[in-house]
Structure 1
Amino acid sequence: MEQLQVKCKGFEEGDWIPIRYTGRGEDLSPELELIGIAPGAKSIAITLDDASHPIFPNFNHWVIWNLPVQSVIPEGIAHGKYVGSLGATQGKAYGRHKYRGPKPPLKAIHNYVFTVYILDCKIDLDAGSRKRDLLNKMEGHILQQATLTGKFQSRRE
């Protein structure tokens, strides 16, 4: 099986996340390109975590599931528990039922990790669910998993 790759037209692996995708900018979810999606895929889930949070390791910013299988996840996914245009559900995270991009304290550099999961089923969870609920429900159904890491610093000079 081909390895899944996640790319973003806004930044490369390990690079600075453009301000438009952050809480200091437009706070838009970035467009993600998925390369090598496994046959038999039925849905996609995505999480965004602050891997550098000093108090809450891997602090969850965004959780969305039941995205249709597609090679491009569009930029600027709408807010709300259910994203009707995509048939997806957004759970509770720092961004309650929406994408909330990086917004570390001034001068702190944090690393943010987008994790994409390719699943062999749709996930039956309500919108009040959190990342841990999703991870538990996905167990045994993950066909592929890949990450894209970017960094951000508020008011970087």
Structure 2
Amino acid sequence: MSLERPVSPDPYPLLPAVASFTVTSNDVIDGQPLTEAQVHAAGNTSPELSWEPGPEGTQSYVVTCFDPDAPTPSGFWHWVVVDIPADVTSLPTGAGDSDDTLPDGAFHIRNDFGTAEFGGAAPPEGDQVHRYFFVVHAVKESNLGVDSTATPAVVSFNLAFKTLGRAILTGTYAF
């Protein structure tokens, strides 16, 4: 059964315009299908991400993974890490396992699976191809001003006012 519905828009052009910078990965190729390592029912492992330093004034980073194509009105948040120090410009494969695997001071926000860690791709079987936006947000403050009880929506709201730059890498997946 295919769930025919319009493709959701790329959410990031809908936000206030900010500078762009580059994020790369040894685990995710932009525009290409994710490997089984990044699939929830398989490896469920966060990818390695490396990025250029953010624009001048960057005080910290937030890393997110969002699927706008989930069959919900609000998409699906797979990964949210806040308060990554400004001198950190990469996360190794598996950094999303827990707060203990993140740089000092950084922490996870509960994803839409309900866990404070990376949750891999998990589109409904037979659904359209889903896009997974791995985004590094350069933040103009040393911390975003949220705690671990915040929701991804609250993090996103704060980012709308505190983001100096954004780097985006998009993987895809379908069962």
Q: TM-score range by the shorter chain?
A: 0.7 to 0.9
* Unmatched 5+ stretches in structure 1: none
Q: For 1:78-105, what per-residue CA distance to the aligned partner results, in whole angstroms no more than 9, with x for missing partners?
A: 544x447512121122242111010112
- 2:79 corresponds to which residue? 62
Q: SS state of the match for residue 125, structure 2? A: coil
RMSD: 2.1
Runs of 4+ that moved beyond 3 A: 82-85
1:90 aligns with 2:111: no
Asked whether the 8 Å contact 2:23–2:168 carries over to 1, the reply is yes
Asked whether the 8 Å contact 2:28–2:47 carries over to 1, the reply is no
TM superposition shift of 1:27:
0.8
Q: 1:21 aligns with which of 38, 42, 53?
A: 38
Structure 1 pair 85/32, CA: closer, same or farther in 2 (3 Å)? Answer: closer
- 2:136 corresponds to which residue? 116
User: Which of 98-107 and 33-42 deviates more?
Assistant: 33-42
- Aligned sequence identity (%): 22
Asked whether the 8 Å contact 1:32–1:72 carries over to 2, the reply is yes
Q: 2:120 aligns with which of 79, 96, 101?
A: 101
TM superposition shift of 1:52:
1.2
What TM-score do you get using the length of structure 2 for normalisation? 0.77
> Which is richer in strand?
1
> Which is richer in helix?
2
Number of aligned pairs?
Answer: 153
Q: SS state of the match for residue 94, structure 2? A: coil
What TM-score do you get using the length of structure 1 for normalisation? 0.85
